[in-house]
């Protein structure tokens, strides 16, 4: 192993990295990135990579977009910061709320601004509890999430997240948060079960949970249209229709976590539209500003807003908010981002590119290491298996999916290995046809290298 650079040593001694093996990092150091343009990002040595994950599912318009840079600069010169506590406001915050209400897939009364998807989903839990207290239903507080769902890392949002690493030794989940089954037909269906039957069973299991807990105690159900960090799990046909029927039956709210799927990723402006969901409230972030500024939002119904008004009248204040709620620079960048999405028809671009993306993705299912290739629009994943017929997985400690991602990185492509030995693909929405082909060419080579490595290491016999 080559000696670590001065920059790497400085990093090791000062920075605590999210979602990183902290022990291993001390030996390997970071991949230090220096600049980016379009769909490519460059490290400190000048090596270029296709950013096949759009950062963390977020840089939809790619890097170095001058319109977004200029929007930030202009707003910094005009009003670099203002909070919106105590009734204060500013035009960028108002205009962004208006635009989100206009494009929302369901009727929205008000928009509450946050700094991230984690903050948005943490806020969703607080809002549900606050509303039910206001409505005289203090016992109706439980929120049902799903195994393998990802909703953030704050205390409440990490509790909603259904991944072991987010709970173990963090003393999570907190009370009133529970998890129903993951709708992954490939991995969770039983022998002879059709997709339709599987979706019916998923809804039945949710109904059984609500009945077991007591319908008067269950307040909300939260779901990503496509489960992102849990492995890019695309729900089976009719799944959300059946889930919605159960929620309606027991007066349980639907919260749509659109943090990854929102703003064109699935081939519609919102994943909610792609899968026919009917949420009461919606969380957005990430692509809201193409990640050029940290900003997110919670979009709420009139019923929730009216309950908040009454509770605020009783208490004397609505006691929730963030220093950076509706930060004017972030809001200005988000407004420009939404303008570009509309002007350049980003949904149409995704719909035009998706056939190529999905054709190349589905072709990977033929590879000996790939058990399933899955995706929709411009988001996808491959699931690595030791045996295609039995779906048996490698020992997770062997890190086969991580090895695939590392071979990609060595060859100039950044992808991410996820829970369940999956490798995710989520490029900027502006990616060209040629770059899409190059992305998948590199991934195919990486799979071949990983297959040779598996054989050399005897991992199928381990």
Do 189 and 254 fall into the same domain? yes
Contact 283, 113 (CB under 8 A): no
Residue 1 has what pLDDT?
52
Q: Is 22 helix (H, G, I), strand (E, B) or coil?
A: helix
| 20: in domain | no
Do 161 and 71 fall into the same domain? yes
Do 375 and 231 fall into the same domain? no
Q: In the 8-state DSSP scheme, what is residue 29?
A: -
Start-to-end CA span in the chain (Å): 26
Last residue within a domain, chosen from 343, 366, 395? 343
The per-residue b/e assignment along 299-308, b for 16 or more CB within 10 angstroms, e otherwise, is bbbeebbebb
Write out the two tokens for 390.
Answer: 């039995």
Last residue within a domain, chosen from 316, 343, 370? 343
Do 60 and 88 fall into the same domain? no
Task: Kindly list the distances between the CA atom of residue 386 and the CA atoms of 211, 418, 451, in Å, as whole numbers in the listed order.
Answer: 39, 16, 10
Strand partners, 38: 63
Task: Kindly list the distances between the CA atom of residue 8 and the CA atoms of 44, 45, 56, 414, 416, in Å, as whole numbers in the listed order.
Answer: 10, 12, 22, 19, 21
Write out the two tokens for 250.
Answer: 């027991």
Cβ neighbours for 371, distance < 8 A, ≥ 6 positions apart = 186, 383, 384, 385, 388, 391
Task: Kindly list the distances between the CA atom of residue 207 and the CA atoms of 128, 246, 315, 446, in Å, as whole numbers in the listed order.
Answer: 20, 6, 35, 43
325 half-sphere exposure, CB direction, 13 A CA radius: 20
Total structural domains in the chain? Answer: 2
Contact 273, 81 (CB under 8 A): no
Do 109 and 184 fall into the same domain? yes
Residue 149 has what pLDDT?
97
Do 278 and 354 fall into the same domain? no
CA 146/CA 309 separation, integer angstroms: 31
Last residue within a domain, chosen from 322, 343, 364? 343
Do 157 and 228 fall into the same domain? yes
Do 129 and 165 fall into the same domain? yes
CA 25/CA 30 separation, integer angstroms: 7
List average pLDDT for each run of 10 residues in the chain, which is 462 residues long. Answer: 81 91 90 96 96 98 98 98 96 98 98 98 98 97 98 98 96 97 96 96 98 98 97 97 98 98 98 98 98 98 96 94 98 98 98 98 98 98 96 92 97 95 97 98 98 91 68
Cβ neighbours for 188, distance < 8 A, ≥ 6 positions apart = 181, 182, 198
CA 116/CA 286 separation, integer angstroms: 7
| 12: in domain | no
The region that residue 316 occupies, defined by phi over 0 for left and psi between -120 and 50 for alpha, beta otherwise, is: left
pTM: 0.95
Q: In the 8-state DSSP scheme, what is residue 319?
A: -
Residue 2 has what pLDDT?
63
Owning domain of residue 201:
67-343
Write out the two tokens for 274.
Answer: 């792609």
Residue 3 has what pLDDT?
76
Contact 112, 297 (CB under 8 A): yes
Do 376 and 256 fall into the same domain? no
């Amino acid at each position: 192993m080559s000696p670590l650079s001065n920059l790497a040593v400085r990093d090791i001694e000062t920075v605590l990295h999210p979602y990183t093996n902290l022990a291993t990092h001390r030996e390997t150091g970071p991949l230090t990135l220096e600049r980016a343009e379009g769909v490519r990002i460059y490290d400190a040595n000048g090596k270029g990579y296709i950013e096949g994950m759009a950062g963390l599912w977020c840089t939809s318009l790619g890097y170095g977009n001058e319109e977004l840079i200029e929007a930030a600069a202009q707003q910094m010169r005009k009003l670099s910061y203002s909070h919106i506590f105590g009734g204060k406001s500013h035009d960028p915050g108002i205009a962004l709320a208006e635009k989100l209400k206009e494009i929302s897939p369901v009727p929205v009364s008000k928009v509450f601004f946050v700094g991230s998807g984690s903050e948005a989903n943490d806020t969703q839990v607080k809002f549900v509890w606050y509303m039910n207290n206001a409505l005289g239903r203090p016992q109706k507080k439980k929120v049902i999430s799903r195994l393998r769902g990802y909703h953030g890392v704050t205390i409440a949002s990490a509790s909603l997240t259904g991944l072991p690493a987010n709970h173990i030794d963090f003393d999570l989940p907190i009370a009133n948060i529970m998890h129903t089954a993951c709708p992954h037909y490939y991995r969770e269906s039983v022998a002879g079960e059709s997709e339709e039957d599987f979706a019916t069973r998923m809804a039945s299991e949710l109904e059984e949970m609500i009945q077991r807990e007591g319908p008067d105690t269950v307040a909300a159900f939260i779901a990503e249209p496509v489960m992102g960090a849990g492995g890019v799990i695309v729900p089976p046909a009719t799944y959300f229709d059946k889930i919605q029927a159960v929620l309606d039956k027991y007066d349980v709210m639907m919260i749509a976590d659109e943090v990854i799927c929102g703003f064109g990723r699935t081939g519609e402006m919102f994943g909610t539209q792609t899968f026919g969901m009917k949420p009461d409230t919606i969380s957005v972030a990430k692509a809201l500003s193409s990640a050029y500024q940290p900003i997110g939002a919670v979009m709420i119904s009139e019923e929730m807003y009216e309950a908040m008004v009454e509770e605020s009248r009783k208490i004397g204040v609505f006691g929730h908010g963030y220093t950076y709620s509706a930060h004017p620079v972030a809001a200005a960048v988000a407004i420009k981002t939404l303008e570009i999405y509309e002007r350049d028809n980003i949904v149409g671009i995704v719909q035009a590119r998706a056939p190529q993306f999905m054709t190349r993705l589905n072709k990977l299912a033929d590879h000996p290491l790939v058990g399933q290739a899955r995706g929709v629009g411009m988001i996808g994943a491959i699931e690595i298996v030791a045996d295609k017929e039995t779906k048996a997985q490698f020992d997770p400690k062997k890190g086969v999916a991580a090895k695939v991602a590392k071979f990609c990185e060595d060859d100039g492509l950044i992808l991410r290995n996820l829970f369940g030995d999956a490798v995710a693909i989520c490029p900027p929405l502006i990616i060209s046809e040629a770059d899409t082909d190059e992305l998948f060419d590199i991934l195919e080579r990486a799979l071949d290298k990983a297959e040779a490595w598996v054989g050399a290491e005897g991992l199928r016999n381990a």
